[in-house]
Amino acid sequence: MGIDRSFDHTNWMTPPFNRQAFQHMREFVPTAHIERSADPVALPRRPLPLDDVAVRSRRGGTITWAEHLATTWCDAVCVVHDGHVVDERYFEGMHERRLHLLMSVSKSVCGAALGVAIGRGEIDADQLVTDVAPEFAGTSLDGATVRHVIDMTAGTDFVEDYDDYDEADPEVPLIEYEHHASYRPLGARTPIGTLGHFRTYGTAFPHGDRFQYRSPLTNVAARLLEVVNDLPYADIVTRDLWGPLGTEHDANLMLDPLRHPVVEGGMSCTLRDLARLGLAYLDDGVVGGRRVIPAEWVADTRHGDDQALAAFEAQPGGNVDGWSMYRNAFWVLERDQVFSGLGIFGQYCWIHRPSRTVIARFSTTPTALPEDVSAETLGAFTTIAEHLADRHG
């Protein structure tokens, strides 16, 4: 049976169309170009037999690693242990040169770029947003700092509820936002872009009071980087990350109808290049012997502070998923040890410091947040990392 290429801008996030659409974003939405490195960093291969490693199944009992990948809508996975690719495989037409949508792992890329800018002294995490970019004066970010924005503790009133994700009701804030962010057709709406839509939001709580996941805040973080660099965000990523990381392939970034970057979820890249980002965070910001991200920023990302822990515990509904905090656009599972970039429909850039393992994974699950599949996947990652440490450490 051939590969289904019948996706378009109206159906691309729904199965079965998403499986191919996530690999071909530039065919139906505008994108900006991110250039690969002129000096790629090699990822040496040392294949290991992981197929039969037993992992816990969401249905009870155990299944093999190979069965897990085959039954959780995996499009590609790359396991890097101690600097060597020990397992790399592709499904559903994916291959090593093909780009795949990162969804919210795109936020982690922005977090890394912000860390570079802070390391150079171009911006400070404690600066007021309105001091960096006066264009946000009079918005929900009055009085908010850069830290509040990147950690999603700003008081901006925006509800991101994925239980409503498949609804077409324009009263659902997330759905209406997506029409202005190129995720869904604009239709007859007046184009105001992601930042214009952001300026319509009110304030729900005092800045720093609690963590609440709201994707549009990351678009603001990227805009702050554009202001201090006087460059488009895609060019900043090319200069500060994609080049220094030693990437093999170009990447791209979705643009909204006004051609502003959709930084919170619109980046696409290849699998191994995503693994290189994870390796930078594993090795304190260094890849291939060269400094990419400040060591202090990497340490802060995985450790955070007591305020970040408290804000995460104070989130609406409490901490029900087992994570410790959200810091610098990464999710921290075990402080200082295990953290990850996460994207809906099953995107991961997962770092396990005790075993020196990075796992990059692309997926297209049938729904945005299938909790049972996510739990099985994260559990499988841990099992693989511990297996590598025990047998091949």
pLDDT digits (tens, 9 = 90+) for 329-375: 999 999 999 999 999 999 999 999 999 999 999 999 999 999 999 99
pLDDT of residue 165: 63
* Furthest-apart CA atoms within the chain: distance in Å: 59
Q: CA 89, 266, 162, 257: dihedral to nearest 10 degrees?
A: -150
- CA quadruple 382, 383, 385, 386: dihedral sign: positive
pLDDT, tens digit, for every residue of 113-136?
A: 999 999 999 999 999 999 999 999
pLDDT, tens digit, for every residue of 191-211?
A: 999 999 999 999 999 999 999
pLDDT of residue 172: 82
Please report, for the chain, the start and end positions of each structural domain, with discontinuous segments joined by +. 25-392
Q: What is the mean pLDDT of residues 227-233?
A: 99
Candidate list 104, 108, 324, 363, residue with the active-site label: 104
Buried b (16+ CB within 10 A) or exposed e, 306-342: eebbebbeebeeeeeeebbbbbbbbbbbeeeebbbbb
Contact 119/111 with Cβ under 8 angstroms?
no
| Cα angle value 251/189/345 (rounded, 5°) | 40
| DSSP single-letter state for residue 190 | P
Describe the strand order of the beta sheet including 84-90 as a list of residue ranges: 84-90, 74-81, 357-363, 347-352, 338-343, 330-334, 325-327
**Residue 57: active-site member:** no
pLDDT, tens digit, for every residue of 255-284?
A: 999 999 999 999 999 999 999 999 999 999
The residue with greater pLDDT, 215 or 316, is 215
Contact 249/97 with Cβ under 8 angstroms?
yes
pLDDT of residue 355: 98
The structural architecture, per CATH, of the domain 25-392 is 3-Layer(aba) Sandwich (3.40)
pLDDT of residue 123: 99
Helix 105-119, helix 216-229: angle, nearest 10: 30
Token match 């594993």: residue?
Answer: 282
Share of residues in the chain with pLDDT > 70 (%): 97
Q: What phi and psi values does residue 162 have, to the nearest 5 degrees?
A: -80, -5
Q: Render 81-119 in DSSP notation, one character per residue.
A: ETTEEEEEEE-TT--TT--EE-TTHHHHHHHHHHHHHHH
pLDDT, tens digit, for every residue of 49-77?
A: 999 999 999 999 999 999 999 999 999 99
Q: Is the pLDDT of residue 168 over 70?
A: no
pTM check: above 0.95:
yes
| C-alpha to C-alpha distance for 113 and 118, rounded to whole angstroms | 9
Count of helix runs (H) and strand runs (E) in the chain: 13, 15
pLDDT, tens digit, for every residue of 130-166?
A: 999 999 999 999 999 999 999 999 999 999 987 766 6
